[in-house]
Amino acid sequence: MTKFITIGVYGATEGSFFQALQTADVDTFCDIRQRRGVRGAKYAFVNSKRLQAKLAELGIRYLHRKELAPTTAVRQRQKDADKASKTAKRKRTTLGPAFIAAYEEEILTDFDPQSLLDALPPNADVVALFCVEREPAACHRSLVAHKLQNEMGLTVDHIVP
């Protein structure tokens, strides 16, 4: 049975990030970001082309599942909540209720977890769901993980490099 982990990049170094993937025995990396780039040099190693090259070097397959990314309108709900609470994106520890409701309604309602499993190669043993936030509870990947756990009975571990 396929195991899932979630991972973010904020707070990690390039070395700790890729070491965490290897330690978890990840063989398939599922990028669930809308935009596959991060501003600034500190996290440039997770910009799409560099990330895919490094994963290939490590023998880890790369998939992009854009349909699991929050839309710009959904992301705006979280930006508004962060602004109201005066919380910087990289310091957020939980998602706001408005974001969760919008993400569940606009993204997860139409997401069939079996479709994700069907898109995986038959030998995918450990799949990483990736977005940027450090804390799983501060990122939509935790909502995807929750749906996979509840509807498919899959094991999902959250790792923080």
pTM of the model: 0.93
Number of domains in the chain: 1
Q: How far apart are alpha carbons 132 and 148 in whole angstroms? A: 20
Domain range enclosing 101:
3-158
**Three-state secondary structure of the chain:** CCEEEEECCCCCCHHHHHHHHHHCCCCEEEECCCCCCCCCCCCHHHCHHHHHHHHHHHCCEEEECHHHCCCHHHHHHHHHHHHHHCCCHHHCCCCCHHHHHHHHHHHHCCCCHHHHHHHCCCCCCEEEEECCCCCHHHCCHHHHHHHHHHHHCCCEEECCC
pLDDT in tens, the chain (161 residues): 899 999 999 999 999 999 999 999 999 999 999 887 777 889 999 999 999 999 999 999 999 999 999 999 999 999 999 999 998 888 889 999 999 999 999 999 999 999 999 999 999 999 999 999 999 999 999 999 999 999 999 989 999 99
